[in-house]
Chains A and B, each alone.
Chain A
Amino acid sequence: MTPLLSLRHISKSFPGVRALTDVSLDVHAGEVHALLGENGAGKSTLMKILCGIYRQDEGEININGEVCNFHGYQDALNAGIGIIFQEFSLIPDLDAVDNIFLGRELRNRFGLRDRRSMIAEAQHLLDRLKVSIPLDRPIADLSVADQQFIEIAKALSLKARILILDEPTATLTPSEADHLFTIMRKLREQQVGMVFISHHMEEIFTICDRVTVMRDGEKVDDCDVVSTTPDDLIEKMVGRRVENLYPEQRSDADYNDVVLDIESLRLDVNGPEHSLKLYRGEILGFAGLVGSGRTELAMGLIGATRPVHAKILMEGKPTKLLHPATALKQGIGLLPESRKIQGLILPFSCRENITLNNLAQFQSALPLIKRRQESSTAADLMKAVRVKAPSPETPVGNLSGGNQQKVVIARWLGHQCKVLIFDEPTRGIDVGAKSEIYALMKELTARGVSIIMISSELPEILGLCDRAAVFYQGQIAAELQGNDLNSQSIMHHATGGLSS
Chain B
Amino acid sequence: MSQLDSIPGNTHQLLKMRLASWRRTPIFYPLIGFIVVFIAMSTINDNFLTISNQANLVRQTSIIAIIAVGMSLAILTGGIDLSVGPVMALSGTVMAGLMVAGVPPSLAILLGVLVGAGFGAFNGFFVAFAGMPPIIVTLATMGIARGLGLIYTGGYPISGLPPEFAFFGRGSLAGIETPILIMISVYALGFLLLHHTATGRYLYAIGGNEEATRLSGIRVSRYKLLVYTLSGTTAAIAGLILTSRLMSGQPNAGIGFELDAIAAVVLGGAAITGGRGMILGTLVGAMLLGVLNNGLNLMGVSPYLQNVIKGLIILLAIYISRKRTP
Q: Which residues of A contact B (CB under 8 A)?
A: 302, 304, 323-325, 327-329, 333-334, 336, 341-348, 352, 356-357, 359-360, 363, 367-369, 411
Contact = CB atoms under 8 A, between A and B. Distances in A.
B275 interface: yes
B51 interface: no
A345 B208 contact: yes
A236 B72 CA distance: 52
A345 B209 contact: yes
A367 B198 contact: yes
A314 to B, nearest CB: 15
B201 A343 contact: no
A368 B192 contact: yes
Contacts of B209: 341-342, 344-346
Given A352-B201, A369-B197, A324 B208 contact: no
B215 A342 contact: yes
Contact of B219 (A323, A344, A347): A323
A341 B211 CA distance: 7
A326 to B, nearest CB: 8
Nearest to B216: A357
Interface of B: 192, 196-199, 201, 204-205, 208-209, 211-219, 275-276
9 contacts: A328-B217, A345-B204, A346-B209, A347-B276, A348-B205, A352-B205, A356-B205, A357-B218, A369-B197
Contacts of B192: 368
Nearest to B199: A367
Interface SS of A by simple majority: mixed
Contact of B198 (A327, A334, A341, A369): A369
A359 B198 contact: yes
A356 B201 contact: yes
A327 B208 contact: no
B212 A359 contact: no
Contacts, number: 75
B276 A356 contact: no
B269 to A, nearest CB: 13
A327 B201 contact: no
Interface SS of B by simple majority: helix
A359 B219 contact: no
Nearest to B219: A325
B132 to A, nearest CB: 19
Contacts of A346: 208-209
B273 to A, nearest CB: 10
Contact of B211 (A328, A342, A357, A369): A342
Contacts of A352: 201, 204-205
Contacts of B275: 345, 347
A268 B323 CA distance: 47
A419 to B, nearest CB: 13
- Count chain A CB atoms within 10 A of each CB in B201, B213, B215, B276 and give the residue with the most: B215
Contacts of B212: 336, 341-345
B208 A348 contact: yes
Given A323-B217, A346-B208, A347-B208, 14 more contacts: A304-B215, A325-B217, A328-B216, A334-B215, A336-B215, A341-B209, A345-B204, A347-B204, A347-B275, A348-B208, A356-B213, A357-B216, A357-B217, A360-B198
A411 B217 CA distance: 11
A479 to B, nearest CB: 26
A333 B205 contact: no
A414 to B, nearest CB: 11
Nearest to B195: A369
Contact of A327 (B197, B211, B217, B276): B217
A113 B204 CA distance: 47
Contacts of A367: 197-199
A333 B198 contact: no
B198 A348 contact: no
Nearest to B274: A347
Nearest to A339: B212
Nearest to A332: B217
Contacts of B215: 302, 304, 324, 334, 336, 342-343
A83 B16 CA distance: 41
- Count chain A CB atoms within 10 A of each CB in B196, B197, B216 and give the residue with the most: B216
Contact of B196 (A304, A356, A360, A369): A369
A265 to B, nearest CB: 18
Nearest to A336: B215
Contact of B197 (A304, A341, A342, A368): A368
